[in-house]
Amino acid sequence: MAQMSRDKSPLPILRDSGDIASLVEEGKCFHIVNETVGTELVGGTAYVATAATFSLRNLGSKLMIPLWARLHQADAVAGGRIIVHAQVLEADQAPTTITAATVRNLNWWKKDASDVLAGTTVTLPTFTTGNARLVWTGEFFQTVTAANSDQVINVFPRPGFVAVRPSGALHIYTWAGTTGPSWSYDIAWAELEY
């Protein structure tokens, strides 16, 4: 019989733990959102490897499983073409600058703290060769007007599409060609033993 590996796939872990509601009830899910209603986060106007819109750094001993990242565009973007990249680092490289986001447990009764340091408007160091890998990318055509301003972009293809190991990180980049998109956001993840 094959030996069990600590480096196993995250999807069975997520499946064996039940649905997301069960994980929330157990206090294993965390998220970040805009703290001030009406104050959005602005993405870039071009891809820059050292400038991420969001950064989630796994500083604990648990596996971080991204669940959802919902971005709601607040302002018009000329041309309406928005690019989103999600990138994982095998070994964390601390940002040069980061605006800290308040991480909250999705179960308000449980006060367990997250082991993930989350932030926005991030300046990253130049990555060590081979450390960063793109795990998802998408291109959206959305010119925001009063008629369609309620559209939400789901950045992650599905819950558990990738796992971020301890001392790793997940960075999300967003940009549009003429004007940086302005986001209201809700990004959630689970922290599971492995």
Distances (CA, A) of 164 to 3, 142, 191: 22, 30, 10
What pLDDT sits at residue 79?
56
pTM of the predicted model as reported, rounded to 2 decimal places: 0.84
For residues 106 and 108, what is the distance between their CA atoms, to the nearest angstrom? Answer: 6
For residues 125 and 84, what is the distance between their CA atoms, to the nearest angstrom? Answer: 20
Q: How many helices (H) and strands (E) does the chain have?
A: 2, 12
What is the rounded (10 degree) CA torsion for 126, 184, 134, 4? 110
What pLDDT sits at residue 75?
66
Q: pLDDT of the chain along its 194 residues, tens only?
A: 344 444 444 554 555 555 888 889 999 999 999 988 878 888 888 888 899 999 999 999 999 999 999 988 776 665 566 778 888 888 878 889 999 999 999 998 887 889 999 999 999 988 888 888 888 888 776 666 655 556 678 888 889 889 999 999 999 998 887 777 888 899 999 999 87
8 A C-beta contact, residue 151 and residue 73 = yes
Determine the length of the chain: 194
- Residue appearing with tokens 């060769």: 129
For residues 48 and 144, what is the distance between their CA atoms, to the nearest angstrom? Answer: 24
